[in-house]
């Protein structure tokens, strides 16, 4: 089984031609719609940027803020699968003994429980089997209650997030499995969920530190977008819905098409290597100064600096801009620091 999955997309086993397998207006009408997310304009914008560039997201907020609801609606604003992507998804489902159903394949959405083992998350075990990262290939992997996952399981996500593949090593050989997925993680600000700033938190400082330490700096550095949210007000909940998934998806598809013209079929900004990243941004002096200032102020690592650049490029693509401006960089920095201000 693993050997079959390891061949996905290789020269020895060509896939079907690239190109959309179904139109954007052929989305599943039964799928959850982004219009269900009331209030939270900042979170809605973060999801749009994430979908447009294939970026990973961390959402921090109290229970009832809409974190899970938002995550489950992310696939509804993502572009349709291309033919080659659909073949990959179907083949993984087939090899893993899962029936994809008779309808057109859609992007996977996987939401494992926080008690999952490291092998269950990234693959392995005896006999070895693909993990959730491979089952969510070309789709979304949602980790709810991030602070409840084991530190070992979370640390194992570092290679899959960085490289889009996971390596399972055995005594005589090593096998690489595809896992090009979007990570969406949701976390409470502390074990009780209310947060220190609420004035209602009764967590001990040591327990809060242990809870937050589950997300190491190395893993957090690999998550492109990190935002904080609050519970929506009663006024927000009673308001009429704003834009729905279809209208957001149209903007996302247009941004992805710009990226494919620049990077090649099936690729998005999250996949850019350093050479492509440097050549595609084309920043002016004001934008470069904004990035340098943000780098110093937020104390970004080299990886964090490059991820801000990728976010800036995606924001520019959403607006149809060829060059990255200082406004694009400013918004990218905001999306990186867990708050709207």
DSSP assigned state of 187: E
With beta carbons less than 8 A apart as the criterion, state whether 155 and 216 touch.
yes
What is the reported pLDDT for 101? Answer: 56
What is the reported pLDDT for 225? Answer: 97
Does 262 fall in a domain?
no
With beta carbons less than 8 A apart as the criterion, state whether 298 and 333 touch.
yes
Q: Cα–Cα distance between 322 and 96 in angstroms, integer?
A: 42
Does 52 fall in a domain?
yes
Tell me, yes or no, whether 217 and 307 share the same domain.
no
What is the reported pLDDT for 339? Answer: 46
Does 114 fall in a domain?
yes
List Cβ neighbours of 210 (8 Å cut-off, separation of 6 or more): none
**List of long-range contacts for 275-280, beta carbons under 8 Å, 24+ apart:** 277/306, 277/309, 277/310, 277/313, 280/313
Does 163 fall in a domain?
yes
Q: Which segments within 13-87 are labelled E, that is strand? A: 57-60
SS3 60: strand
What is the reported pLDDT for 17? Answer: 40
With beta carbons less than 8 A apart as the criterion, state whether 241 and 38 touch.
yes
What is the reported pLDDT for 333? Answer: 95
Tokens 């600000």 belong to 189
What is the reported pLDDT for 100? Answer: 57
Tokens of 188: 């409470």
Q: List the CATH number of the domain containing 307.
A: 1.10.8
Q: Cα–Cα distance between 241 and 279 in angstroms, integer?
A: 40
Tell me, yes or no, whether 28 and 140 share the same domain.
yes
Which residues constitute the domain of residue 186?
Answer: 2-238
Tell me, yes or no, whether 209 and 310 share the same domain.
no
pLDDT tens for the chain, residues 1 to 341: 555 565 454 333 433 344 444 344 445 566 789 989 988 999 999 999 999 999 999 999 999 999 999 999 999 999 999 999 999 999 888 888 776 555 667 899 999 999 999 999 999 877 778 999 999 999 999 999 999 999 999 999 999 999 999 988 876 778 888 999 999 999 999 888 888 777 788 888 888 888 888 888 889 999 999 999 999 888 888 887 778 999 999 999 999 999 999 999 889 999 999 999 988 888 889 999 999 999 999 899 999 999 999 999 999 999 999 999 999 999 999 998 754 44
Q: How many CB atoms lie within 10 A of CB 222?
A: 18
State the pTM of this model: 0.89
Q: List the CATH number of the domain containing 40.
A: 3.40.50.300
Tell me, yes or no, whether 87 and 225 share the same domain.
yes
């Amino acid at each position: 089984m693993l050997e079959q999955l390891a061949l996905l997309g290789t020269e020895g086993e060509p896939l079907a031609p690239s190109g959309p397998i179904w139109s954007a207006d052929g989305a599943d009408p039964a799928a959850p719609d982004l219009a269900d997310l009331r209030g939270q304009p900042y979170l809605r914008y973060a999801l749009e940027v994430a979908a447009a560039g294939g970026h990973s997201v961390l959402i921090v907020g109290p229970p009832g803020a809409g974190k899970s609801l938002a995550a489950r609606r992310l696939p509804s604003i993502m572009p349709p699968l291309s033919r080659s992507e659909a073949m990959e998804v179907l083949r993984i489902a087939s090899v893993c003994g899962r029936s994809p159903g008779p309808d057109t394949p859609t992007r996977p959405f996987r939401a494992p429980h926080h008690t999952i083992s490291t092998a269950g998350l990234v693959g392995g075990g005896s006999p070895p089997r693909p993990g959730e990262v491979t089952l969510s290939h070309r789709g979304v992997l949602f980790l709810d209650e991030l602070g409840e996952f084991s530190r070992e399981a979370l640390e194992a996500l570092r290679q899959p997030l960085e490289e889009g593949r996971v390596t399972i090593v055995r005594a005589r050989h090593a096998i690489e499995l595809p896992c090009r997925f979007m990570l969406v993680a949701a976390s409470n600000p502390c074990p009780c969920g209310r947060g220190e700033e609420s004035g209602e938190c009764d967590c001990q400082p040591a327990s809060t530190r242990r809870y937050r330490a589950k997300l190491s700096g190395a893993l957090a550095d690999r998550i492109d977008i990190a935002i904080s949210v609050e519970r929506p007000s009663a006024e927000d909940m009673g308001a009429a819905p704003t834009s729905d998934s279809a209208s957001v998806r149209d903007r996302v598809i247009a941004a992805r098409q710009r990226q494919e013209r620049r990077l090649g079929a099936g690729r998005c900004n999250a996949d850019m290597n350093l050479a492509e990243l440097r050549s595609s941004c084309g920043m002016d002096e004001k934008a470069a100064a904004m990035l340098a200032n943000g780098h110093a102020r937020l104390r970004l690592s080299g990886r964090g600096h490059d991820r801000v650049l990728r976010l800036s490029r995606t924001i520019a693509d959403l607006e149809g801009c060829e060059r990255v401006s200082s406004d694009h960089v400013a918004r990218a920095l905001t999306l990186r620091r867990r708050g709207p201000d």
